Amino acid sequence: MPADPAALRLALAQEVDAATPTLDPGWRDAVAAVPRELFLGSAAFRPAGAGWEPVHRAEVGEEEWLRMVHSDRTWVTQVEEKDAANSTGPVSGSPTSSATLPSLVVRTAQVAELRPGRRILEVGTGTGYSTAVLCHRLGSENIVSIEYDADLAASAAAHLGNAGYTPTLAVGDGLLGCREHADYDAIIATCSVRYIPHSWFWQLNDGGSITTTICGWMLAAGLIRLALDDEGTAHGRFTDDTITYMLARPHERPPRPVFFRQDGDTRRARLDPGLLEEWAGRFVAQLAAPSAELMTTGSGIILRDVATGSQAWTEPDDGGWSVHQHGPLHLWDQVEGALLLWQDAGAPDLTQFGMTATPFEQTVWIGSPEGPNWQLPV
C-alpha cells in the first residue's frame, strides 16, 4: 500500500509528542498538519564519511522519500551554499541550510512561550518548514520571517505558498532584525549566535522576549529565552537541552588553515581534557576562550585561537596529561581555570546557567549573576 503523507505526519507528530511529554498539544497538531514533504524539494544531503552525499527523490522513489521526510531528523539541504538538488556526487564542507528536525522546531517554539495574537520575528526562514509550523499554530498574519540567502528565501516562499501559508517574508541579515516590520513581541532564531545582536533588543516591544541558542566555536550551545525588563535588560536561564542550530553565517568560524602543532610551554594539566566531551564542560570552555576552536584526536584535544593563532594541545603523560601551549594566549590556562570554577560549583548542567544581557554587555553566569561569570564577545 503506498505511503500516506497524512498518516506519516500523524505518526511523526506522535513520535515528537512522546519524546517531549510537556509539549503543548497545539504544537503537536502543527507537526501533524504541516506537509513537510513540500519543504524538502527534490533532494537532501545525508552524512557520508567526512562529507555529504545527495539523496534524490527521483532515485529513491516516492514512498521511501516520504518516509525519510517524515522522520524526526534534520535534513541538510545546502552545503557551502551548494544545493542538494544540484549535486550529483558527495561534497565536503559545512551545512549552510537545512530542514530542522520537527521536535527541535516545536521545542524551541515552546521554550519561547509563543501565543496567538503576538507579533513574532523568526530569524532564519530556511526551507520554510519552521515558518509553516509557526503560521499554523499562531496565524500567518502574526509571523515575519527573514532569510539571509536570497535563493533560499525564494524557494521558501514558494514552499509556503504551496502549503497555503502567507507570512510576511523578507530577505536580509537577520542579525539586524527586520526593521521595516518591527516592533515584535518575540524574536525566535532558527540559527545559533555567539551573542545577542544589538538590533534584536531595539526591535522588541516592552516586555518582549528573545529565544535562541547561544553557541561558540567549540559548538556547544545553550537554548535560552530572555525576557526584557523595564530597564531594557534581558534575563533568562538556559534549558537542559543539548541541541544546537547552525551558526548564523556572520557568526561562523573563518576558514580553517592546516594545523601544525607547536611545542611552546609545557606543563602538567590539572584536569582531564576529557571534560570537554561533556556538553556543559565544553560550553564553559568556549565561554573562557570565545575565539578558540576545539579539535579532538586519538590522544587528546587541540585548542586553536582563530584571532591570534595561539594553540594548546594535550597528550597522555604518566597516568595524567601534559599540555603544550604556544602563542600570546595560554588557551589551556583559560579553559582549565573556567572548568575548575564550574567543578567548584558542583559541575552543574546548563539549567544552572543563566544570562544577563544588554545591547552592549552580555554575561553568562552559574547560579546567579554574582556567581562565576563570563562575558560574551559582543
* Cell numbers at 187, concatenated: 524574536
Selection from 102, 100, 142, 85 nearest residue 20 by Cα? 102
Q: Give the pairing type, strands 75-79 and 82-83.
A: antiparallel
* Cell numbers at 303, concatenated: 585548542
The length of the chain is 378
CA-to-CA distance for 376 and 361, rounded, in angstroms? 8
139-152 exposure pattern, b = at least 16 Cβ within 10 A, e = fewer: bbebbbbbbbbeeb
> Nearest-5° angle of CA 277, CA 245, CA 10?
110
- Residue labelled with grid coordinates 589551556: 332
Q: Cβ(212)–Cβ(196) under 8 Å? A: yes
Q: Cβ(182)–Cβ(174) under 8 Å? A: no
Q: What are phi and psi of 208, to 5 degrees?
A: -70, 175
- List the catalytic residues: 98
